[in-house]
Structures are given as C-alpha cells and as structure tokens.
Structure 1
Amino acid sequence: MADFERFRLLLEEERQLKLALLPALRADIAAANSARQGANVDDEHDPEGATIAFELSQASALLNQSSASLDQVEAALARIAAGTYGSCAVCGRPIAEGRLEARPWTPYCIDHAAAGRS
C-alpha cells in the first residue's frame, strides 16, 4: 500500500510551485503585450516584433501548460480526499507506487496511461 500522505505532501508542494509560477507568467505576457503595442505591429518585417511575438508565444504556452498541470495536481488532491487516489480511473486497479512517485498526479495505471496521456 502506497503512503498517500507522502504523495499528498508532494502534490501540495507542486501546487504551491504552480500557484507561484502562474502570476509570473501572466506578468510576462502582459509585458510582452505592452512591448508589442509600443512596437511596429508588422512582426514579420520588424526584428523586434519577431522577438516579442516569440516571447509572447512562449509565455502563453508555458501559462497553458502550467494551468493544465495545476488542474491535474488539484484533481489528484481531490482523489486523495475522496479516497480514490492510487486507483486507475479506467480499470480501478492500483497504480504502481513507482508510477505515482514519477507522476503523483496521474489517475491512470501504466496500462492506461497512453489513453489518458498522464
């Protein structure tokens, strides 16, 4: 039987990291948007425009990824609270402790991981 309290602590720590990261990413996006407004809007022909567009795209992708990751962590914490943590959402079998150590937010055993992409 896995030590779910240990995983709860890991998930809480990961949650705090994500919550701290999201405002910084939003600030990066706001700064890039602000710089873009002050620059030539023709990104294709303005060397600075291409850099600003790249930074905006990168920050937006990181924000989306971090938000999705936070959702997964919070869902895992909800499963701990509900008493369903550590059981595969597809087949109901226990998720191997090694898998939970690698991806404590996963709701899937290794056999169903590809289907759930987690």
Structure 2
Amino acid sequence: MHQDKLESFKKVLLAKKDAILEHNAQHQSNVEQMRNTKGDEADYATMSVENTLEGSIFQKHHQELEYIEVALEKIENGVYGVCEMCGEPIAHGRLKAKPYAKYCIVCREIVEKDLKDKV
C-alpha cells in the first residue's frame, strides 16, 4: 500500500480513537455528575437506564479501541491492510468502511460462519 494511503488510514484511525476517548471522558463526567445529584426515584431509574446503555456503549468502544490500536501497530510494522487469515490484501473499500478490519471479506464470512456454528 502506498505511503499516502497509509497516512490517510492512520489519520482516520487516530480520529476515531480521539472521538471514542472523548465520548468516554464525557460519559465519566456524566456519571460523576449523576452521583453528586440528589433526586427522586424516577431520577434514579432514569440514571440507571442511561448508565446501563452507556455501559454497553463503553464496552463496545473498549473493543473498538483495541482494534484501532492493533491497526495502528500494523501500520507501524508495515503489515496494515493484509488479511490475518489468508495473507491477501484487504480491499481498499473494506478498509475505508472499517479501517481496523482484520480480514478480507471472504475470510470475514468464514470467521462469522464459524462463530455462528459454535453458538
């Protein structure tokens, strides 16, 4: 992959990382603010539902951050954009849609099928 494309993907990955970290920091601030707020049972119920939803989002973000870090390491090591299963290049369109993709589309389908079969 050309250096200019690698730099472009690196910028996208770093922007995604920054956005997730900003969201998580805002979430932490909101949680602290809720803890310091006095309210009635309805307020606490609302806070509980919001906290559960935010916790789920936080968990998804944590996983996405791990994928982003791996992709950034791959850029540094010169192996970004190569499928971890078959070793073939991952299509540019797939990387644009999911810049931290580990697999080409064919191998991704195999992985998803294997996961479904195990469940």
TM-score under structure 2 normalisation? 0.78
Structure 1 residue 34: deviation in Å?
A: 4.4
Work out the percentage of aligned pairs sharing the same amino acid.
27
Count of residue pairs brought into register by the alignment: 110
Select the residue among 48, 55, 58 that pairs with 1:53.
48
The one-character-per-residue Cα deviations of 1:32-65 (angstroms, maximum 9, x if unpaired) are 4445xx557xxxxx43332121011012112112
Select the residue among 58, 69, 73 that pairs with 1:78.
73
Instruction: Give ranges in structure 2 of 5+ residues lacking alignment.
Output: none
Instruction: Give ranges in structure 1 of 5+ residues lacking alignment.
Output: 41-45
Select the residue among 60, 82, 94 that pairs with 2:89.
94
Contact 1:29/1:60 (<8 A) preserved:
no
Aligned to 2:14: 12
Aligned to 1:43: none
Runs of 4+ displaced beyond 4 Å: none
Q: 1:60 to 1:29 in 2, by over 3 A?
A: farther
